[in-house]
């Protein structure tokens, strides 16, 4: 089986490695482990990484850990060790746009770290001093892969929104002011780490908040279970493989 996402991804990625399916926590991805054939584990990070086959495709399934630091560290290890052909990342986020409901899925076109603040040096908030993005501009927003987004929107016609996701290592008390400042759709604690690892390693990234929860209300595991599983008891993002 040839993956439609794989066909439409960048041809210059130069990798024959696995497709990496990632989520922040074990609770958000444990269904995917059960679908792997010929499953084997990498002992790194306490055994959070598994490899196997799914419908003829080489897949790597892992949880990264919660927070930007753990996520970036895990993604860098995966890129160094396995050189994935692409990273598909899904997780639970807090909905910032008015009208988002639990279970809505929002693709990230750009991701930024809202709590990066070097403004006392005269540098705009959410900007990393001395770092450049792929266009040679000061590093602030990191984009996900355009061709992967287009392929995902084609596969999930009418099911996905697209917008800015913002990441931070802190819980936020005043989400309204944050939403207004950045005109963002989703607030999370991991997305920027994934997008940054993809940028620095030349690996295409597709990221969506699988279950935007209006200010993280309710039982976390229940939302994770219902949002990532699709009809037929298959994880939502396995449709992409």
**Model pLDDT, residue 176:** 77
pLDDT of 217 reads 39
In the block, which residue shows the tokens 């639990």? Answer: 102
- What pLDDT, on a 0 to 100 scale, did the predictor assign at position 98? 79
| Domain chopping of the chain, boundaries | 16-231
> Which residues in the chain come in under a pLDDT of 50?
1-14, 211-234
Q: Count CB neighbours of 230 within 10 A.
A: 14
What pTM value is reported for the model? 0.81
- Kindly state the greatest CA–CA separation across the chain: 53
Residue the block writes with tokens 């994880």 = 235
User: Torsions phi, psi of 130, nearest 5?
Assistant: 80, -5
Q: What pLDDT sits at residue 219?
A: 38
List Cα–Cα distances, 28 to 32, 46, 121, 130, in angstroms.
9, 17, 39, 35
Which residues are within 8 A (CB) of 79 and not within 5 positions of it... i.e. 6 or more apart? 197, 201, 203
Instruction: Give pLDDT, residue 2.
Output: 32
Rounded distance between C-alpha atoms, residue 114 and residue 192, angstroms: 10
CATH-assigned architecture of domain 16-231: 3-Layer(aba) Sandwich (3.40)
Q: At a CB cut-off of 8 Å and minimum separation 6, what does 60 contact?
A: 17, 18, 19, 20, 21, 49, 50, 51, 78, 82, 84
**What is residue 102's predicted lDDT score, i.e. its pLDDT?**
73
Q: pLDDT tens for residues 209-227?
A: 754 444 333 333 333 333 3
Any idea which residue has 């679908």 for tokens? Answer: 35
Segment 51-89, tens digit of pLDDT: 999 888 899 999 999 999 999 999 999 999 999 999 999
């Amino acid at each position: 089986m040839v993956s439609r996402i794989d066909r439409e991804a960048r041809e210059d990625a130069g990798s024959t490695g696995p497709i990496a399916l990632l989520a922040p926590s074990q609770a958000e991805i444990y269904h995917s482990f059960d679908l792997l054939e010929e499953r084997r584990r990498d002992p790194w990070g306490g055994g959070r990484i598994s490899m196997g086959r799914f419908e003829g495709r080489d897949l790597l399934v892992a949880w990264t850990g919660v927070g930007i630091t753990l996520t970036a560290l895990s993604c860098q290890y995966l890129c160094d060790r396995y050189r994935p052909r692409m990273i598909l990342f899904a997780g639970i986020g807090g909905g910032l746009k008015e009208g988002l409901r639990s279970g809505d899925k929002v693709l990230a076109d750009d991701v930024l770290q809202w709590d990066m603040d070097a403004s006392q040096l005269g540098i705009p908030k959410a900007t990393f001093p001395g770092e450049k993005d792929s266009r040679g501009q000061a590093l602030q927003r990191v984009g996900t892969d355009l061709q992967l987004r287009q392929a995902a929107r084609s596969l999930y016609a009418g099911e996905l929104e697209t917008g800015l996701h913002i990441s931070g290592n802190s819980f936020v008390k005043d989400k309204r002011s944050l939403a207004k400042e950045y005109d963002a759709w989703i607030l999370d604690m991991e997305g920027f780490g994934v997008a940054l690892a993809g940028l620095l390693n030349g690996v295409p990234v597709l990221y969506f908040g699988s279950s935007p929860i209006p200010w993280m209300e309710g039982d976390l595991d229940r939302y994770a279970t219902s949002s990532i599983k699709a009809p037929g008891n298959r994880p939502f993002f396995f449709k992409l493989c």
